[in-house]
Amino acid sequence: MDRKSSQTFVIIMAGGVGSRFWPYSRNKRPKQFLDIFGTGQSLLQMTYNRFLQTAGKDNILIVTNQQYAELVKEQLPDLEQDQILLEPARRNTAPCVAYACYKIHKKNPDATVVITPADHAIFNEDKFIATVEEGIFAAQKEGNLVTIGIKPTKPETGYGYIQYSEEKFGAARKVKTFTEKPELEWAKKFLESGDFVWNAGIFIWKTSTIIKEYENSLPEMAEAFDDGMEHYYTDTEQQYIDKAYTQCRNISIDYGIMEKANDVYVVLGDFAWSDLGSWGSLYDNLKKEENENIVMGAELLPYDSHSNIIKTDKDKLVILQDLEGYLVADFEDVLMIVKKDQEAKFREFVNDVKNKKGEELL
């Protein structure tokens, strides 16, 4: 397969606020714009460069919130203005995907699109690109909706799961069920059954296929973006989109389209992946130092301290004694020392900061 077919487009969703990585990730500069791994590239830049193997740079679009327009231009200066799609409000993934797919369809009615979040970590890029190519092949059949599933390594409760059958189209398996973030006991049963994979939130289809699905399952949203055809790639596009979003429900592409469609397939991937959804997931995917600590930015002197994440402004000396399983995060005007694996509690902290201290600290 030609990895850079003119019919293949990539849509990178980069509008989230990354609140689960607070206080490192802030509203003004969320995690997709941060150099999480110390590589000199943000997660967005890493995602963009990864997909240059799949689509030419002219065929990569970024969908983000209007407040991040300058950040995208700063980090991806090769993009033209028409490749940066600006949402006036956050309405989850269904409107975001619709906007990009309808716009691309106007330019190329035969297009196949790959939709991906901007903030995933991929540790085996060759295997990942090969998996995407298998998905592109399966999506060439009109009517097929394709997603990528990750072979689970543990009974993770923070991910959605996809159950698949033996029916195949190319390398893709027919999807039987979707399950959102199950309880631990169910996650264990899914793992034992052997026919469940994690939902990576990466989708592949022809624009003609997904437009029909929007018309069937989200007709009001379909009408809103179809009426914009005369505005895409013109000076009136942003004005139209600002109006169209007021008519859009807040709904994910999973709930709005995927769980209702008939011809849904999953390509099984095994390429060392993480959605980097929390500090805990970051800990799972980074190389540990002595005593299983992860140290980012700081210089650490540990005394009987194990399995911690220490992330501070550069070159700060941190001394820890008798601490295990904690996150020590020190950025600008916030110092946070909390148990790293209690994600539900962490959300409570962030909500309390918002309610008691205001939005300026978020």
pLDDT tens digits along 9-46? 999 999 988 788 888 888 899 999 999 888 899 999 99
Of residues 88 and 270, more confidence is placed in 88
Q: In terms of DSSP bridges, do strands 112-117 and 8-13 run parallel, antiparallel, or are they unpaired?
A: parallel
The mean per-residue pLDDT over the stretch 312-331 comes to 92
CA geometry: angle at 142 spanning 141 and 147, to 5°?
70
For residue 278, what pLDDT band results from cuts at 50, 70 and 90? confident
Q: Long-range CB contacts (< 8 A, 24+ apart) of 67-74?
A: 67/28, 68/14, 68/15, 68/30, 68/33, 71/29, 71/33, 72/14, 72/44
Of residues 5 and 204, more confidence is placed in 204
Q: What whole-number percentage of the chain has pLDDT above 90?
A: 76
The mean per-residue pLDDT over the stretch 258-266 comes to 96
For residue 157, what pLDDT band results from cuts at 50, 70 and 90? confident
Contact indicator for 305, 321 with CB cutoff of 8 Å: yes
Of residues 286 and 70, more confidence is placed in 70
Buried b (16+ CB within 10 A) or exposed e, 140-172: bbeebbbbbbbebeebbeebbbbbbeeeebbbb
Helix axis angle for 43-51 and 125-139, nearest 10°, is 60
Helix axis angle for 219-226 and 207-217, nearest 10°, is 130
Whole-model pTM? 0.93
Q: Within 10 Å of residue 205's Cβ, how many Cβ atoms?
A: 33
User: What is the per-residue pLDDT for 257?
Assistant: 97
Run of H or E residues at 173:
strand 172-179
Q: What whole-number percentage of the chain has pLDDT above 70?
A: 99
Of residues 285 and 245, more confidence is placed in 245
Q: Is 329 helix (H, G, I), strand (E, B) or coil?
A: strand
For residue 3, what pLDDT band results from cuts at 50, 70 and 90? low
Q: Is 87 helix (H, G, I), strand (E, B) or coil?
A: strand
Q: Rounded to an integer, what distance in angstroms lies between the CA atom of residue 299 and that of residue 295? A: 7
